[in-house]
Amino acid sequence: MSRHVIEFGGERLELELSEVALVGAFQAPEGMTGTAAEAALRGALERPKGYPALRQIVVPGDRLAIAIGADVPDARLVLDVATEILEGAGVELEAITVVGPPGLAEALVPTTRGGASEIHDPACRDRLAYLATTAKGSRIYLNRTLTDSDVVLPVGLLRHDPLNGPKGPWSVLFPELSDEETREAHRRSLGEALPTASPRGLPDEEAVEVGTLLGAHLQIGVVPGSRGPVEYIAGSVEQVRDMGMLALDRCWSFRPESRAELVVAGIGGNEGTTSLHELVAGLATASRLVQRGGKIVALSRVAGPLGPSLQRLAAAGDGADAREVLRGCEADPDSLLARTLARVLAWADVYLLSRLDPDAVEDLSMIVLDRPEEARRLAERSASCLVVDRADLVRVDWGGRDDA
């Protein structure tokens, strides 16, 4: 027998599977905590890749903005260490502003050392400024604090997003901190795209370009782990992008031998509430691993209300043509989630443990699990099984076998 532990939403489930039934398992890297994480961060900021140290790119009198993503693990540590280094280089604390995207909890933004903070409002025209026009012809408007600063330091999670490709600190700037029209156009472009089994493999080049146009040449990428960051990568945007993709391939790529009749997927981290985006991302990963007509057992603590597209999908009921139900809804903020979920449900049955309303789960044609132990019984009865930890961050690599 082979023993595996799946972690999700601060909980864990132990599975024992026969060697015959187990096709493969992915265990998320643990990462660093405490003094090890702080030492790694300080080392990255002192020796960035392809760029001078953080303390060397500022002078007294500079105004500086730290743009931080909503999903950066232990954001407080990053902010406190960066602020300490900047103060040591002569930057006044009052000249440092932490800028977070819409939806970032206020409590996460200010540093323990003090300083200003701002939650971006994409609908407030007074807090936006024109930056430049990209090579694609997009007129870029960004948060005014960023454009008015002498130095901008983006900090973002490096991750494979199974729904729309790789993300990093460049994604924090654009489209997260742009105007509402741009953000909506970006959502619409994702909603109009046909969800595919394999997401884009390259970062958004326009987002990378926006960072260069802004002059945000030093960026910080955080490679996630189940307990803390696996690695901090600081440097030029090109170095962070390229080294970040290599780190993700090393830490977060799963290369199984074949699909399985049943996939057990842990979804969501140990802190905070798991989002619907994380849930659907995890299901998308699992769908690339399960046989057609098989079973996906998703373990999560996802919570929150359904968006408009997911509500339409739920109201349509079983047997409805999801493409027709969701036609014309591309501007909905959850359009991509609904379209991807519909594709997953057309491929396999989904058993879901969550904190969502059980009626809503059933309306979405998923089977409600009341206890984690139910997943164990399903796994024990399967002829073949794959186990995936933190499926919402995993990239499935079939080695050119086109989804096996």
101 and 232 housed in the same domain:
yes
Domain range holding 328? 2-28+253-396
216-242: pLDDT as tens digits? 999 999 999 998 999 999 999 999 999
My answer on whether 89 and 211 are in the same domain is yes
Output b/e per residue, 80-93; b: 16+ Cβ within 10 A: bbbbebbeebebee
Domain finish residue from 250, 280, 300: 250
Between CA 306 and CA 365 the distance in angstroms is 14
Same domain, 186 and 289: no
Please indicate, yes or no, whether residues 50 and 133 belong to a single structural domain of this protein.
yes
Last residue of a domain, one of 250, 277, 297: 250
Q: What is the mean predicted confidence (pLDDT) over 41-63? A: 97
pLDDT for res 389: 95
Higher-confidence residue of 193 and 345: namely 345
357 pLDDT more than 80:
yes
Region 130-139 average pLDDT: 93
Closest-CA residue to 268 (of 255, 249, 281) = 281
Are residue 98 and residue 238 in the same domain, yes or no?
Answer: yes
The pTM score is 0.90
In a domain, 404, yes or no: no
Short-list 12, 21, 17, 18, CA closest to 372: 12
Question: Tell me, what CATH number does 351's domain have?
Answer: 3.90.226.30
pLDDT digits (tens, 9 = 90+) for 77-127: 999 999 999 999 999 999 999 999 987 755 555 566 677 899 999 999 999
pLDDT category of residue 328 using cuts at 50, 70 and 90: confident
Mean pLDDT of 20-26: 90
Q: What is the per-residue pLDDT across 196-218, written as a single tens digit (0 to 9) for each?
A: 444 446 678 899 999 999 999 99
Same domain, 274 and 211: no
58 and 147, same domain (yes or no)? yes
Domain boundary among 198, 232, 250: 250
For residues 244 and 231, what is the distance between their CA atoms, to the nearest angstrom?
9
Q: What is the pLDDT of residue 213?
A: 95
Q: What integer pLDDT is reported at residue 162 of this predicted model? A: 87
Q: 223 and 313 in one domain?
A: no
